[in-house]
Each structure stands twice: as C-alpha cells, then as structure tokens.
Amino acid sequence: MAGYFPNWTLKTTGAVMPDERLPTGQTIIAGLQHVVAMFGATVLAPLLMGFDPNVAIFFSGIATLLFFVITMGQLPSYLGSSFAFIGVVIAATGYAGSGANANIGVALGGIIACGAVYFAIGLIVQAVGTNWIEKLLPPVVTGAVVAAIGLNLTSVAMNMISASPYTKWIALFTVVAVALVAVYGRGLAQRLPVLIGGLAAYVVYAATASSFGAPTIDFGKIAAAPWFGLPSFVTPVFDLKAMAMIAPVAIILVAENLGHIKGIAVMTGRNLDPLIGRGFMADGLGTIIAGSGGGTGVTTYAENMGVMAVTRVYSTLVFVAAGVIALVLGFSPKFGAVIGTIPVAVLGGLAVVVFGLIAATAGRIWVENKVDFSAPKNLITVATALILGAGDLKLPIFGFELGGIGTATFGAIALYHLLNRRTA
C-alpha cells in the first residue's frame, strides 16, 4: 500500500502533525495516554447499558485501527463507546440499570443497523460532500437532539442512586469528586475527572459500605480472574422494533464526528474535509463490527481532542499504539473483574455527571454557533424536542414504536424545516 499512507517524518520538538512521528518509545507512551483519557467514558458507557467492558475496550481498539486504515493514516482519532446509544439501548432491552443486560443480543442488532445507516451516509458524503448534512442538521437541531438525549437518561441515573439514603450520598460524593478534579486538577489529572473522581468514590464506598449496611465489594472476584483470556463475545439478534429504535442514533454520530473532524482541522491548520466521508464510513464500519460481537457503538472522542490540544501531538501513529493497547486490555479478564466491582451507587453518581454533561453540551453548540433564540422557529424546535426527549414519548409508526430519543430527533428535524420555510 505504498503511497496510501503518509511517509511519517521524525519530529522531536514543537507540534507533531498527523504525517509526522515521535520516537517509538514516546509514541507508545503517547498512545497509552490516549487510552487512559478515553478509559473512563469508554468503560462507563458499556456498564450503563449492561455490556461487558472487556468486549467494549477490545472493539474500541479494533475500530480505532480500522479508522486509521480507512482514513489513510491522515486523520488522528480514537474511537470509543458512544453515549448516544445508552438511552435507546436501555429502552430497546428493558435494562434495569445493574448487572449484565439479558437482552444484549437485541441491542446488538440495532447497533449494527445504526452502523449500516452511518456507513451509507459516509458513502454519500464521499460522493457529494457535506453541505446537505449541514442543511439537514443545523446547530439548533443538533443541539436540541443532544439535549434530548441527556434529559431522556434522567430516570436511569435516578434509579441507580435511589436504593437507600447511603447510595444517594455516595452518588453525590462521586459528583463532587469528579467536579473538583475537573476544575482544580492540573495536567493529565484534569483530563481524567471521571476516572479519578470515580476512583475516589470507590475507595470511600469500600471503606464505609459495611458500616451503613450496604453490599460490600467482593475483591475475591478480582483475585480469581485470570490475567489473560478471550473476551466474552455475544451474537446479535435482529429485531425490527429494536433496529428501528436504535438506527436513528446515526444522525447524532454524524453530527458528533463532523464536529470532531472540523475541530482537528482547526488545531492542525489543515483542510480535512476530503476525509469526512471516509471518517463516517470508518465509524459506521467500526460500529457494525462492534455490534457483531458484543461491543458498543463507537464514535470519535472529545477527550482525545483535549489530549491533542494540550500535547500538540497529532501524529496518527500514536493512535495505532492506542488501538493496540486497547486490544491487549480486552484480553484481560482481570481488568474486567476490576471494573465489575464498581458499586452501582458510584456508577450512578458518574451517570449524573455524564448524562448532565450530554444535555449541557447542547448549550455549548448553540452558543458557539450563535443560535438566535429570539426566532420562534428555533425556540419552538428546541422546546418541543426537549419535552419529547425528557418525557420519553414513544410514538407508534407503521407497526414500530419509536422511543423518546428517536421521536425528539425526527421531531426536531421535521419541525425545524417546516418552520424554516418562511423567508421573511
């Protein structure tokens, strides 16, 4: 494949561009840093859906390496578990919020359908460009959908933390710990608030649970787990109702990935628009492959953009290292056993933060794009989507039931374009 990939040149000082590289040792360390940066979210997402985190990490590594190949080694990105799937997967499977998801196969069929839609959009973009996406999904609509996703997950978080007064206080401690690290942390610590805050809450729970009559952490499971072993792959089940519910998430992933690539273009000072179609196809194919074996749908990660912004290292070879490291973690049952001991109260506290941040991200989208809320078309579009999503309105269509996120998504798109027809 000579000429397909860049001819990476060695760079040891200053900003390192996508077609440049660090020495091998530094490349591996930089890759590990990206794995750590995405670790908290990529592990949290599968736990909130009842998926196996070992399998999710394994497929995030596969997807990252696949992305590198499809984008010709020119677009620095790590692909990890997408939070956009949480609401629809929980709705499609009836997941209670703790333990393994008994209906994971049904969710996987929907994730594959979503990946197929995403891949098809990538093909179209590669052929005709992105203008049609930017017209279909203006910032007011994208923000409304993102906010609806966060609000739709409110009941999930509340159910996780409401078992007892003790679990509520542990969850709130988790929230405060994450917030303190995010605001007052320095360097790499500030990039890992979910991981560090969650660890602090884990320690507090382990030290106090027995005193308050809460279930204690079983460390014996960690000791009994082997260091190496095959991930527990799961076969998908293709249920049309679940597929119709989960497939619309592709719209969110498109908006998410488009913003990611535009952001990297700004950071590197390079025009990456010719790679957008390839990026969509790579994300879509990675999601299909992940869904085929028990992994979560994947997306590009803002956490990794933050690491790139701080380090000014954009070399795509760093993400090859990160992908390989994730694959290795996926083959460690002991790693999975450690994750499995995280108390539901701690996960609930993390969910409060993460779900809230998803909703709050909408505000950033609107502010950065100067959305005019004095215009009735914008105000009504957002207001309607928020209530449809938060209230989880399930809408029967042609024998299928569209969940609250899907109803909010398509409702926002349809309503905005209906109201946008007036020119004066």
Domain spans of the chain?
A: 17-158+230-343+359-419
Query: Helix/strand/coil (H, E, C) string of 199-261?
Result: HHHHHHHHHHHHHHCCCCCCCHHHHHCCCCCCCCCCCCCCCHHHHHHHCCHHHHHHHHHHHHH
> Could you give the CA distance from residue 318 to residue 184 in angstroms, rounded to a whole number?
28
| Least-confidence region, from 79-88, 155-164, 338-347, 396-405 | 396-405
∠ CA(201), CA(206), CA(209), 5° rounding? 100
For 221, the token pair is: 């499971």
> Could you give the CA distance from residue 196 to residue 133 in angstroms, rounded to a whole number?
37
Structure confidence at residue 355 as a pLDDT band (50, 70, 90)? confident
> Could you give the CA distance from residue 296 to residue 14 in angstroms, rounded to a whole number?
36
Q: Is the pLDDT of residue 424 over 60?
A: no
As a whole number, the mean pLDDT across the chain is: 83
> Could you give the CA distance from residue 253 to residue 161 in angstroms, rounded to a whole number?
29
Return the pLDDT at 415: 92
> Could you give the CA distance from residue 104 to residue 52 in angstroms, rounded to a whole number?
10
Return the pLDDT at 39: 66
> Could you give the CA distance from residue 414 to residue 324 in angstroms, rounded to a whole number?
42
> Could you give the CA distance from residue 24 to residue 16 in angstroms, rounded to a whole number?
14
Q: Is the pLDDT of residue 401 over 70?
A: no
Return the pLDDT at 384: 92
Q: Are 371 and 384 in contact (CB under 8 A)?
A: no
pTM (predicted TM-score): 0.72
The packing angle between helices 24-49 and 344-368, to 10°, is: 110
Q: For the residues 96-101, what does the mean pLDDT come to? A: 75
For 201, the token pair is: 């809450």
C-alpha distances in Å from residue 315, one per residue of 20, 55, 76: 6, 27, 7
Return the pLDDT at 190: 65
